[in-house]
Amino acid sequence: MSPPPYAIGIDLGGTYLRAALVERGKGFLEQVQVETEAEKGPDHILDRAADLARRMMRAVPGDEVAGLGMGAPGAINWERTTLSHPPNLSGWTKVNVREALRERLGQPDLSVTLENDANVAALGSAFYSVGQPYDSFLMVTLGTGVGGAIIYRDRIFRGTTGGAGEFGHLSIDHEGPVARSGVAGAIEAYLGQRFLSRHARYRLLARETVLHERAGDDLEDLTPKMLFEAAEDGDEAAREIWTWAGHKLGCALGSAINLLDIRTVIVGGGVAAAGDYLLDPTREAMQRTVIAGLREELHLEREPLGNDVALLGAAQLTFQPDPGDVAGPGETAPTERAPAAS
């Protein structure tokens, strides 16, 4: 008997809670989005998530749903069952989401897998988007912060405790500006949204740029979006900021590639909207800082699907046995499968 072809993906964010029904290897059948209403606490959020899951499940026969995967911010335990201290979700300390959803859905044996949001986005890209041609890549998410994930041989590389892939904390200058994490010269201290805006502001204050009209004379309101729009409008000063930022990013990527021998990088997140203004100089610096022996077949791609890859990747968790569950050398974990739903 072939395995059930569908899975539920849930993307738990601070603002929106999204769910989808995904067909293995194909993509979305249904999608739905509601507000998270994070201020009402974990029980409320889990009720809403279970509601969405139930709606998604209704679209196909119960025995064709392999399980449910969820991407979430915050610390997830090695067994991928429990979410602790998610940022932006008030009153949420530590919850076993697997048990909470099984109970609410009345399916005590349902396959439920939790994973870090950056990791599920990368998995989604690997199986349903621009990551498909590559069995290994580094995903970098440029948003409020700089996140990341490592896909190695079509799996999430989780490290010792599930915390691997935090590219934002890689340093390019051990005596450089200090990021929120406390790491000097971390790439997040250059490309994180606030850091980027601040660097840009100081670099542009004395320059001629259309941004003085758009972001206030002292550029106090400058955002990456404004920098992108100004670059699009032909503003040289704005373009130079992206060149500066891309150079930093490329240097950080070069270091990571030298260490990992993983030569494809996929860039997502809001700031990646800057496109080639950012990515051309990134590519150039990356090419130059990667050692000669690894310089062939370097790829830098932009993830075009936005948040959808997180939903697809969350569902994909269900379809993939987890290398993290491998008990020892030579052993492969069984894939957890949902029984026929009642």
When asked if residue 170 is in the footprint of a second copy (CB under 8 A), the reply is yes
When asked if residue 159 is in the footprint of a second copy (CB under 8 A), the reply is yes
Determine the Cα–Cα distance for residues 21 and 31; give it in Å rounded to an integer. 7
Residue owning tokens 């373009």: 239
When asked if residue 161 is in the footprint of a second copy (CB under 8 A), the reply is yes
Phi, psi of 322 (to 5 degrees): -95, 125
- Which one of the spans 29-37, 183-191, 209-217, 220-228 is the region binding a second copy (CB under 8 A)? 183-191
Determine the Cα–Cα distance for residues 18 and 20; give it in Å rounded to an integer. 7
Determine the Cα–Cα distance for residues 138 and 290; give it in Å rounded to an integer. 14
Q: Which of 1, 15, 39, 153 binds a second copy (CB under 8 A)?
A: 153
When asked if residue 205 is in the footprint of a second copy (CB under 8 A), the reply is no
- Closer residue to a second copy in complex, CB, 43/261: 261
- Read out DSSP for 276-293? HHHHHHHHHHHHHHS-GG
Q: Which of 335, 336, 337, 341 binds a second copy (CB under 8 A)?
A: 335
When asked if residue 33 is in the footprint of a second copy (CB under 8 A), the reply is no
**Taking Cα atoms as reference points, which of 313, 289, 314, 270 lies closest to residue 146?**
270
When asked if residue 82 is in the footprint of a second copy (CB under 8 A), the reply is no
When asked if residue 282 is in the footprint of a second copy (CB under 8 A), the reply is no
CB 333 within 8 A of CB 321: yes
CB 151 within 8 A of CB 198: no
Q: How many residues sit close enough to a second copy to count as binding (CB under 8 A)?
A: 59
CB 20 within 8 A of CB 53: no
CB of 327 to a second copy, least distance (A): 10
When asked if residue 260 is in the footprint of a second copy (CB under 8 A), the reply is yes
When asked if residue 256 is in the footprint of a second copy (CB under 8 A), the reply is yes
When asked if residue 77 is in the footprint of a second copy (CB under 8 A), the reply is no
Contacts of 109 (CB under 8 A, 6+ apart): 102, 338, 339
**Would you mind telling me the total number of residues written for the chain in this entry?**
342
- Which one of the spans 11-19, 152-160, 202-210, 276-284 is the region binding a second copy (CB under 8 A)? 152-160
**Taking Cα atoms as reference points, which of 28, 2, 23, 26 lies closest to residue 307?**
28
- Which one of the spans 43-51, 52-60, 224-232, 283-291 is the region binding a second copy (CB under 8 A)? 283-291
When asked if residue 220 is in the footprint of a second copy (CB under 8 A), the reply is no
- Site residues, a second copy (CB under 8 A): 75, 136, 148, 150, 152-155, 157-167, 169-175, 181-186, 248, 251-252, 254-256, 258-263, 288-289, 291-294, 320-321, 323, 326, 328-330, 332, 335
